[in-house]
């Protein structure tokens, strides 16, 4: 089974995509349309997020398994430590292995309900993602990714301590990290510099979401934990018409991605929210799609 690391350490830049488990039948249809649309563009891998509750978790396992079984894509399943004992985590990891999934994004996760609420570990569970990295590694021949935060994790008091914690995840056995959303290429590149300054040369993938609507702008602010920089606000604000806002957002995502590729980034990770169109447009413009013969 091909690993994420095999797919991203190649002699040309590549891209990957992230999906969420579908909530209902209509969502499942939309998700599979997006997967089939993007499959033809040969993404390096596709990942499926892990929800807070039981049924959503089952859907992650099912969806990732189906991607592995029914498509040509390399799949990666997310896994969080939220509300799981170590025994349950072992069980989920066992399911992933049984379905032929060899790539896992190991996360601590957020408290269910209120992501900013107090984090309480399961009494027989884990406290931090580095412990989950170790557990996944112990249980099999998995390729393991972790999360990284260009502006620091919201619960961290300072960037240096947060970077030390990221490096701890690599020391625990993580092969690569995917960054949370950010606005300017420099925000990601500074994270890469901080990691490199600690003598760590692990793969860092920037997380990209084209800002095509005011809703996706609000989502970027929420997830990144940062306010919109003046330059970006000035670029997007004048576009009161949704069509021209979308065009400006696609231009911006293309420009940010081009700068990252020029700085040697090997793989751009697109947050798709189960839609394919914006990602398709940007990767086509970047020339990341293999030519058809
Ligand atoms: C690419 C990506 C994908 C994601 N996918 C999902 C998903 O599928 N499902 C989901 O629920 N959430 C997901 N998240 C969100 C993530 O679960 C939350 O951001 C969570 O709050 C942090 O998870 P983590 O793995 O980074 O935690 P950790 O690395 O454990 O960090 C949590 C906090 O503790 C600090 N810390 C870490 N280790 C130590 C230590 N040893 N001692 C002291 N402090 C420490 C960190 O600096 C940070 O402040 C994703 C995030 C990203 C960036």
Place 113 in a pLDDT band, splitting at 50, 70 and 90.
Answer: confident
Ligand 1 atom nearest residue 179's Cα: 53
At 51 the pLDDT is 87
Place 293 in a pLDDT band, splitting at 50, 70 and 90.
Answer: low
Ligand 1 atom nearest residue 129's Cα: 30
Tell me the best of 75, 109, 209 to mutate to test the pocket of ligand 1, counting ligand atoms within 8 Å of each CB and taking the most: 109
User: Which one is predicted more confidently, 290 or 30?
Assistant: 30
> What is the share, in percent, of the chain residues with pLDDT greater than 90?
91
> What is the share, in percent, of the chain residues with pLDDT greater than 70?
99
**Residue range 41-74, pLDDT digits in tens:** 999 999 999 987 777 889 999 999 999 999 999 9
Distance, CA 150 to ligand 1 centroid (Å)? 13
pLDDT over threshold 60, residue 186: yes
At 117 the pLDDT is 87
**What residues are annotated to the active site?**
18
At 292 the pLDDT is 65
Ligand 1 atom nearest residue 60's Cα: 8
Q: Is 199 left (phi over 0), alpha (psi -120 to 50) or beta?
A: left
Place 249 in a pLDDT band, splitting at 50, 70 and 90.
Answer: very high
In terms of pTM, does the model score above 0.95?
yes
**Residue range 191-246, pLDDT digits in tens:** 999 999 999 999 999 999 999 999 999 999 999 999 999 999 999 999 999 999 99
Phi and psi of 83, rounded to 5°? 55, 25
At 53 the pLDDT is 73
The binding-site residues of ligand 1, defined as CB within 6 angstroms of any ligand atom, are 49-50, 78, 80, 105, 107-110, 128-130, 147, 153, 155-156, 162, 165, 168-169, 178, 180, 207
Average pLDDT on 145-158 reads: 95
pLDDT over threshold 90, residue 112: no
At 238 the pLDDT is 96
Ligand 1, atom 14, lies closest to the CA of 109
Place of tokens 């003046």: 230
Pairing of strands 14-19, 267-271: parallel
Phi and psi of 217, rounded to 5°? -65, -45
**Residue range 266-287, pLDDT digits in tens:** 999 999 999 999 999 999 999 9
* Residue 98 burial (C-beta neighbours within 10 Å; 0-12, 13-18, 19+): exposed
Distance, CA 147 to ligand 1 centroid (Å)? 6
At 55 the pLDDT is 77
**Residue range 75-88, pLDDT digits in tens:** 999 999 999 999 99
**Residue range 126-141, pLDDT digits in tens:** 999 999 999 999 999 9
**Angstrom distance (rounded) from CA 141 to CA 4:** 13
Angstrom distances, CA of residue 190 to CA of 195, 228, 243: 9, 17, 33
**Angstrom distance (rounded) from CA 107 to CA 169:** 10
Domains assigned to the chain: 4-286 (3.20.20.220)
Distance, CA 248 to ligand 1 centroid (Å)? 31
């Amino acid at each position: 089974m091909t690993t994420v690391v095999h797919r991203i350490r190649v002699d040309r830049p590549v891209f990957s995509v992230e999906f969420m488990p579908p909530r209902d039948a209509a969502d499942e249809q939309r998700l599979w349309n997006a997967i089939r649309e993007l499959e033809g563009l040969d993404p390096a891998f596709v990942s499926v997020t892990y929800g807070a509750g039981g049924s959503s978790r089952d859907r992650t396992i099912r969806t990732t398994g189906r991607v592995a079984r029914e498509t040509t894509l390399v799949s990666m399943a997310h896994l969080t430590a939220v509300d799981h004992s170590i025994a349950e985590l072992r069980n989920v990891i066992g399911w992933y292995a049984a379905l032929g999934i060899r790539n896992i994004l190991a996360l601590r996760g957020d408290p269910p309900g209120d992501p900013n609420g107090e984090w309480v570990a399961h009494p027989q569970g884990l406290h931090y993602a580095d412990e989950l990295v170790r557990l996944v590694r112990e249980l099999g021949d998995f390729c393991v990714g972790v999360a990284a935060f260009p502006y620091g994790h919201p619960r961290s008091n300072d960037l240096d301590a947060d970077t030390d914690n990221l490096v701890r995840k690599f020391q625990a056995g993580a092969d690569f990290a995917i960054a949370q959303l950010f606005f300017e290429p420099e925000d990601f590149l500074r994270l890469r510099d901080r990691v490199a300054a600690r003598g760590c040369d692990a793969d860092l993938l920037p997380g990209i979401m084209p800002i095509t609507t005011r809703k996706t702008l609000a989502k970027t602010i929420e997830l990144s934990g940062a306010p919109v920089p003046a330059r970006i606000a000035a670029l997007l604000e004048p576009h009161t018409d949704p069509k021209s806002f979308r065009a400006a957002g696609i231009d911006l995502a293309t420009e940010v991605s081009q700068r990252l590729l020029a700085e040697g980034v090997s793989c751009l990770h697109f947050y798709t929210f189960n839609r394919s169109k914006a990602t398709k447009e940007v990767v086509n413009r970047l020339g990341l799609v293999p030519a058809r013969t």
